[in-house]
Structure 1
């Protein structure tokens, strides 16, 4: 079976424009022309090419490809393991075939071939990476937080030791004592050498240098003890809490952690996590967590082997913001106009369910003072944005058009959006973010250890350099007050503008107990149990 043939079947009409169809299929015209010849040779169809530019190609189908493939996939669902056939759900089916296949997949989810307690989760997106150092997106954090552990964790306003047994901290150095007999998922014992290697790798990583530039040295004292020296690093414990600094190792291209679950299988459409029997904490009650990645899935859906009732939960899932780029060409009055319209009306006019109607905020205690300025017309604004929010940007374009403001949209790849300095010729960059863990530190990291915000904000607001050093010379207990001042000042200057709070709805089975829906939708899979 060939996914391109199915996509073409469900896109094409008796008369087609090869240029337009090839663009819709995301292939070249030469690729389409070669495929048409091959499909005709296999007697799937007959075609007659139009002569000259703009002429239409006639298509005559000899087989109903959608029905033929549907029958084959239905047979595969009955004979093969679900994880080997679930990728067919991502193909471009007709609506009726797609719904029927989804129904069959749902029914199969209720069949457990083993005596185990399994949680099945249907999600829209797979994790972008399994490398903790490169993790920036919320989907990857969601899964990796159950696979890896850090030296320290921040929970309910308190620091808790994890892989570290104790950390003695002074102004210039920290002595880290490791718990004994903690095992990696391959059975090897974690030593100071492993932890030192992780931290030194992070130091040299292009993704993490801003986070660790204050660290001067990392030394091994003995197999369960190490020393770190640093300059102006009042936030050391907060750094060690970040998932990016999880303790892991790489063997034959596989990432191996120490968390309550390990990865048994992982593909673009399917992941299977299994409980780690030798976890140094409490062994999870759940034996397996199975995740299916389905592009049409609009919300995270949890299920167990036995069918039952579900309860919906709506949780805050970060926020979206508008960052003024360093080459912003708008006047102050034009920036004020864009600021007011986007922040006031976008969340009210869009029909997207992930957008909360409440006032947007970066911090949980953000307060902004607003007044309606004189709204200007007849100018153009340029927005840079990650390509996966294309539909949201169309809403932005329609909104500003009502106020006679022209919009130029500049999409970038997900990788550029997460890792680059975004040195693009635009006025604003729109993106989502989330502050996980200790908010006082996460906001500091968002501003000063993020390539995009560092690159653009410091150029437009030089006083941030002085503010940065003020953070470093202040105890962490005072950072919340600093955060409020900086947050309000950046918003007042039209430099960093919160647009809306993102939210998501998850459906949890009633008999799944102790499920804790926490900030950004992270789930405590290692603590839940089935009634």
Structure 2
């Protein structure tokens, strides 16, 4: 009878066992074992000695030519492995379980493991109320200055506060309880008694540090340029030196980059309803903060565990995902011309030929999340814009980059086929989302398929989209002087008239063939039934500070 000690079980042994089962055997040659695990013979032999000591396998060295060394599993090894799964997965953290799920398990055991993991997702009520949720990639950054991905933006707003908050229609006081006009700009009065997650008291100096850091190192230089400098003449007073009007400044200070963070712990310590307790490639853990500005969340812990795309898809397809919400995104999926590194930047005729070659309706007809044809980036006001008459264009080869996800791959395949039908030579490649803005990625692209999901404040989100270093469009149109001249008009125009400027800018983007909006998105998000009528933000992520577990009494 083999003994059981979980620490000695590893991915190599499991992979070799699966290989043996597939061959309908209980033994494999040493050569086969080495090929299966991809390690050296010396390393595998070292492992075999440990497995032999556990009573899991026996090993017989080959003697003489034609006699291979053999590894044989004990007859009760399947029971041993199942016992390890039951015991280890019940005691392991979710991060450990996620790592073990990556092993090359026999199919039946893998289904058992998945069921045990999935049953632990959702609300867990022990000595504290915990919410565990899977995610499919490593968190990039929660530093407010670096955020350009929806999930990070959603989590960041749970960790950090701002001087003001935008509720979708109006600006509400937050860390600042009052703001008044002055000859130099505006004076903000900071609430007293607010503490950071590290226990330090928030004062005007912390606000000055955060905003000064934004002005010096932020990626949205154009958007925040109207603020000349920031000062704190008293502990709970902050002066903003600017000539911009009040409505603009209040909404500007409600943006994610204007979040207040603690010096030396940027992107980690804030004053929001959750504090960042752990961040690694495997897990992100948020814990409710007791002494923040906003009400203490009902949940004690929110934890995100990294799983593969395939495992996440299986979890999302489970029968208990009966709560369905349709999230209509502000923004669009679009095709961007590489206006910095591609030959297309000097060839407007070819860019226009590419415009005319693309059948947007055919892309929408692929179905799924593709909701309606886009002519701009505001779904409610999306209207066709006339294209220039065709002229002679180049047929030089084009390289089209897209994300490696199914929807993006389908979009790229159809766009490439439409361009080939128009006489272009097109090759497609993928890029990683984390590498999109890197020079190495941009230098190999002529066309890039991407998407923009705008935040609650659509007006400022659109301006950031066109000017921010964290936006693909903003990065690639930075040298378009005519566009920048149009953008400068926003600063001289009352915000009530901005929608008219938005339409003018969208028309220019099309007429100058800088970017091709393809379609607007409406995504189906399914949630486990235990969440009930879960509140979601504009990005389609739950508002974790509003979730709660009904006590079992």
TM-score range, shorter chain: 0.7 to 0.9
CA distance in 1, matches of 2:221, 2:315: 33
Asked whether the 8 Å contact 2:143–2:266 carries over to 1, the reply is no
Task: Find 1:131's aligned residue among 143, 150, 155.
Answer: 143
CA distance in 2, matches of 1:232, 1:414: 35
Aligned equivalent of 1:38: 43
Distance 1:473 1:515, change over 3 A: same
DSSP-derived class of the 2:509 partner: helix
CA distance in 2, matches of 1:141, 1:59: 56
Larger Rg: 2
CA deviations on 1:408-436 (whole Å, 9 max, x unpaired) are 33544434424669752532222222210
Asked whether the 8 Å contact 2:97–2:117 carries over to 1, the reply is no
Aligned equivalent of 1:259: 272
Distance 1:416 1:270, change over 3 A: closer
Give matches, 1:173-322, under 5 Å.
173-205=185-217, 207-232=219-244, 235-249=248-262, 255-295=268-308, 296=310, 297-298=312-313, 310-317=322-329, 318-322=331-335
Aligned equivalent of 2:169: 157
Give matches, 1:111-510, under 5 Å.
112=124, 114-169=126-181, 173-205=185-217, 207-232=219-244, 235-249=248-262, 255-295=268-308, 296=310, 297-298=312-313, 310-317=322-329, 318-326=331-339, 327-329=341-343, 332=348, 334-342=350-358, 344-345=360-361, 347-348=363-364, 350=366, 353=368, 355-360=369-374, 361-364=376-379, 365-369=381-385, 380-385=397-402, 388-389=404-405, 392-393=408-409, 395-397=411-413, 399-401=415-417, 403-404=420-421, 405-418=424-437, 424-450=443-469, 452-459=472-479, 461-509=480-528
Gaps of 5+ in 2: 1-8, 24-36, 52-58, 61-67
CA deviations on 1:327-362 (whole Å, 9 max, x unpaired) are 5445555434433454515634646x4x32322351
Distance 1:95 1:157, change over 3 A: farther
Q: What RMSD over aligned residues (CA atoms) do the two structures have, in Å?
A: 4.3
Asked whether the 8 Å contact 1:175–1:225 carries over to 2, the reply is yes
CA distance in 2, matches of 1:192, 1:508: 41
CA distance in 2, matches of 1:319, 1:9: 48
Distance 1:239 1:70, change over 3 A: farther
CA distance in 1, matches of 2:14, 2:520: 38
Give matches, 1:49-68, under 5 Å.
none
DSSP-derived class of the 1:313 partner: strand
- TM superposition shift of 1:87: 2.9
Asked whether the 8 Å contact 1:265–1:273 carries over to 2, the reply is yes
Asked whether the 8 Å contact 1:172–1:232 carries over to 2, the reply is no
Distance 1:89 1:132, change over 3 A: farther
CA distance in 2, matches of 1:391, 1:66: 40
- Bigger drift between 160-169 and 110-119 goes to 110-119
Count of matched residue positions in the alignment of Structure 1 and Structure 2: 501
Aligned equivalent of 1:79: 91
- TM superposition shift of 1:80: 3.0
Asked whether the 8 Å contact 2:208–2:232 carries over to 1, the reply is yes
Asked whether the 8 Å contact 1:316–1:502 carries over to 2, the reply is yes
- TM superposition shift of 1:140: 1.0
DSSP-derived class of the 1:145 partner: helix
Gaps of 5+ in 1: 15-31, 47-57
CA distance in 2, matches of 1:59, 1:481: 78
In the superposition, the TM-score normalised over structure 1's length comes to 0.79
In the superposition, the TM-score normalised over structure 2's length comes to 0.76
Distance 1:81 1:424, change over 3 A: closer
